[in-house]
């Protein structure tokens, strides 16, 4: 009797270079190369990176569901040693430690608690719009991506600490922007290899370290003040300080609190800011959509600021943001690594295989989206959403590691966009080259230059139908 196991059934894919496999193509064009491979080979593509590492690209909702939900225990995040910035925070940790932390932090993101953050979202947006309108007369253009980062950081600072951290300490804003710039340089895969090969302490690297030190000092001093203050603050840090491990009864250590604050700051601000920036671009290209948003906002809010109760009524505004994240998903790649042998459909997965899932591919998969390139917020009516598989659209990931801030991001975006509709028109400067840059998030390489003018007078309301 033969003891040989049957040959593995591996998915189709490019052979690549005998030594490097497809590594060079993937480094040179991280998104385009995978999009082309999907078009050529289909919903499951196999690559070799280097001599041995197998990488599968998953582009069917069922495969994504299998990895993130059905057999999630077999697919942890690929191991990375804790970095200086995120430490052992939620985004970066794994296994039992991650599970315990998620239990600690989840209550701070409960929908009931998030309601208390709406006034912070309103205040931060109002400050931004006041600034824009005060400077609008000059006609000078500015990069709206920076202002959206500032807005997100302002909201996150208030949500964590009940203080506008970056208003009080503008150096924290600068530090955060520099850290993101450096992370983006590192993330471009080619440069990350160069950085490893030549660990030169350049000015930039020094600024990166100094940036982390600035952020650490801002977070640590606030945690220390809180420890010394018996008042129960109704903010995220207040809730994290109160949380106890259900098994041991122990509270979180200061170091862990610092790591979680840094994770929330950095996982939270850049993606929200990038998504709002893309929304500005799309609205400038689709005045009819913008007009409908203004009508909905006029009907629901008139001139007053949104409250928690208003948010479900601003359906079209939220749908516009969701559709913007379909076309330009801030999270553009998610990776997991198989612990044990598994099957994806008819194909074998060997232990150690890295599986990657790319939102920009599934969000435009022609089997699930009609006219995938068209900007159409009506796709997000409940009826049309119910007809699509869950993982045809997953800007916030899914399963147990789904984004903890998804509701908060949707709320902040709905507040910000509604208030923008009430007060301003964002005019994208003509002639600028928009280049998609897949780094930590999917951003516009040169930002987005805009000018701002006061909003046109409101027109009579019309019934909105999205959602």
- Does 75 bind ligand HEM (CB under 6 A)? Our answer is no
Considering the complex, state which of residue 203 and residue 253 has its C-beta at the smaller distance from ligand HEM: 253
Residues 102-161 that bind ligand HEM (CB under 6 A): 102
Phi, psi torsion values for 46, nearest 5 degrees: -105, 135
Tell me the CA distances in angstroms from 65 to 9, 252, 357, 391, 392, one per residue in order: 21, 32, 11, 6, 10
Count of residues binding ligand HEM (CB under 6 A)? 22
Question: What residue has token string 């909905």?
Answer: 296
Least gap, CB of 405 to ligand HEM (angstroms): 2
The residue written with tokens 């980062």 in the block is 149
Question: Using CB under 6 A, which residues numbered 314 to 333 contact ligand HEM?
Answer: 330-331
CB of 17 to ligand HEM, least distance (A): 28
CB of residue 267 vs ligand HEM: minimum separation in angstroms?
4
What is the closest distance, in whole angstroms, from the C-beta atom of residue 97 to ligand HEM in the complex? Answer: 11
Please tell me the total number of residues recorded for the chain in this structure: 467
By the rule CB under 6 A, 353 interacts with ligand HEM: no
In the complex with ligand HEM, the residue whose CB is nearer, 68 or 452, is: 68
Per rule CB under 6 A, is residue 272 in the interface with ligand HEM? yes
CB of 430 to ligand HEM, least distance (A): 27
Q: Give 334 or 466: the residue with its C-beta nearer to ligand HEM.
A: 334
Question: Quick one: 102 or 205, whose CB is closer to ligand HEM?
Answer: 102
The least distance separating ligand HEM from the CB of residue 108, rounded to whole angstroms, comes to 9
Beta carbons of 78 and 354 less than 8 angstroms apart: yes
> Which residues, 6 or more positions from 341, have their beta carbon under 8 angstroms from its beta carbon?
348, 349, 350, 351
| Nearest position to ligand HEM, beta carbon | 405
10 Å Cβ neighbour count for 249?
7
Pairing assessment for the beta strands 354-357 and 53-58 based on DSSP bridges: parallel
Distance of alpha carbon 141 from alpha carbon 426, whole angstroms: 10
Task: State which residue, 22 or 263, has the beta carbon closest to ligand HEM.
Answer: 263
Using CB under 6 A, which of 205, 397, 423, 427 touches ligand HEM? 397
Among 85, 153, 257, 264, binds ligand HEM (CB under 6 A): 264
CB 101 within 8 A of CB 430: no
Of the candidate spans 25-33, 127-135, 293-301, 389-397, the one that interacts with ligand HEM by CB under 6 A turns out to be: 389-397
- In the complex with ligand HEM, the residue whose CB is nearer, 102 or 113, is 102
Element holding 184 (H helix, E strand): helix 170-187
DSSP 357: E
Minimum CB separation from ligand HEM for residue 129, in Å? 20
Contact 279/266 with Cβ under 8 angstroms? no
68-72-74-75 Cα dihedral, nearest 10 degrees = 30
How many other C-beta atoms can be found within 10 angstroms of the C-beta atom of residue 172?
21
Tokens 């070799």 belong to which residue? 48
Minimum CB separation from ligand HEM for residue 396, in Å? 5
**Residue among 34 and 396 whose Cβ is closer to ligand HEM:** 396
The DSSP secondary-structure symbol of 88 reads: T
In whole angstroms, what is the distance from residue 164 CA to residue 3 CA? 67
Query: How far is Cα 174 from Cα 366, in angstroms, rounded to an integer?
Result: 41
Supply φ then ψ for residue 127, to 5 degrees.
-60, -45
* 71, 100, 263, 353: residue in contact with ligand HEM (rule CB under 6 A): 263
Q: Does 300 sit near ligand HEM (CB under 6 A)?
A: no
Which CB atom, from 105 or from 300, has the smaller least distance to ligand HEM?
Answer: 105
With CB under 6 A as the contact rule, the residue among 395, 421, 428, 443 that binds ligand HEM is 395
Give exposure, 59-68, as e/b (b: 16+ Cβ within 10 Å). bbbebbbbbb
Is residue 87 part of the contact set for ligand HEM (CB under 6 A)?
no
- Residue 460's Cβ-side half-sphere holds a number of Cα atoms within 13 Å equal to 0
Phi and psi of 350, rounded to 5°? -95, 155
Least spacing, CB of residue 102 vs ligand HEM, in Å: 5
CA 155 to each of CA 18, 69, 164, 231, 325: distance values in angstroms, whole numbers, following the listed order: 50, 31, 8, 22, 20
334 binds ligand HEM (CB under 6 A): yes
Query: What DSSP state is assigned to residue 421?
Result: H
Please identify, among the stretches 48-56, 164-172, 213-221, 399-407, the one whose residues bind ligand HEM according to the rule CB under 6 A. Answer: 399-407
Nearer to ligand HEM, 263 or 451 (CB): 263
- Min separation Cβ 360 and ligand HEM, Å: 12
Among 128, 177, 237, 267, binds ligand HEM (CB under 6 A): 267
Contacts to ligand HEM by CB under 6 A: 90-91, 102, 263-264, 267-268, 271-272, 275, 330-331, 334, 395-397, 401, 403-405, 408-409
């Amino acid at each position: 009797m033969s003891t040989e196991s049957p040959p593995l059934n591996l998915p189709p894919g490019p052979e690549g270079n005998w030594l490097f496999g497809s590594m060079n193509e993937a480094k040179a064009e991280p998104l385009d190369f995978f999009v082309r491979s999907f078009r050529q080979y289909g919903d499951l593509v196999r690559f070799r990176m280097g001599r041995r590492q197998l990488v599968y690209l998953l582009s069917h909702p069922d495969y994504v569901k299998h990895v993130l939900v059905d057999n999630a225990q077999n697919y942890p995040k690929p191991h990375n040693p804790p970095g200086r910035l995120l430490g052992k925070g939620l985004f970066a940790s794994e296994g039992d430690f991650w599970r315990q932390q998620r239990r600690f932090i989840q209550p701070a993101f409960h929908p009931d608690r998030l309601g208390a953050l709406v006034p912070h979202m309103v205040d931060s947006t109002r400050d931004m719009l006041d600034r824009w309108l005060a400077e609008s007369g000059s006609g000078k253009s500015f990069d709206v991506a920076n202002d959206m980062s500032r807005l997100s950081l302002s909201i996150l600072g208030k949500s964590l600490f009940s203080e506008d951290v970056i208003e009080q300490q503008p150096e924290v804003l600068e530090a955060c922007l520099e850290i993101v710039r450096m992370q983006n340089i590192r993330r471009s895969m080619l440069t990350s290899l160069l950085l490893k090969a030549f660990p030169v302490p350049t000015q930039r690297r020094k600024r990166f370290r100094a940036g982390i030190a600035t952020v650490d000092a801002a977070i640590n001093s606030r945690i220390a003040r809180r420890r010394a203050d018996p008042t129960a603050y109704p903010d995220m840090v207040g809730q994290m300080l109160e949380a106890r491990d259900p098994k041991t009864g122990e509270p979180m250590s200061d170091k862990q609190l610092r790591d979680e604050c840094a994770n929330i700051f950095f996982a939270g601000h850049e993606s929200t800011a990038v998504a709002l920036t893309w929304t500005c671009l799309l609205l400038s290209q689709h005045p009819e959509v913008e007009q409908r948003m203004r009508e909905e906002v006029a009907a629901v809010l008139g001139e007053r600021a949104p409250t928690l109760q208003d948010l479900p009524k601003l359906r079209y505004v939220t749908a516009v943001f969701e559709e913007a994240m379909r076309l330009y998903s801030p999270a553009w790649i998610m990776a997991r690594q198989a612990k044990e042998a598994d099957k994806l459909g008819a194909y074998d997965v060997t232990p150690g295989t890295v599986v990657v899932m790319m939102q920009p591919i599934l969000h435009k998969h022609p089997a699930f989206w009609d006219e995938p390139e068209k900007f159409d917020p009506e796709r997000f009516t409940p009826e049309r959403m119910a007809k699509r598989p869950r993982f045809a659209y997953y800007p916030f990931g899914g399963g147990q590691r789904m984004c903890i801030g998804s509701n908060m991001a949707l709320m902040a975006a709905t507040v910000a966009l509604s208030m923008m509709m009430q007060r301003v028109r964002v005019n994208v400067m003509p002639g600028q080259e928009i280049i998609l840059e897949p780094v930590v998030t999917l951003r516009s390489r040169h930002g987005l230059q805009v000018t701002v003018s006061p909003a046109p007078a409101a027109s009579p309301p019309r019934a909105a139908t999205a959602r």
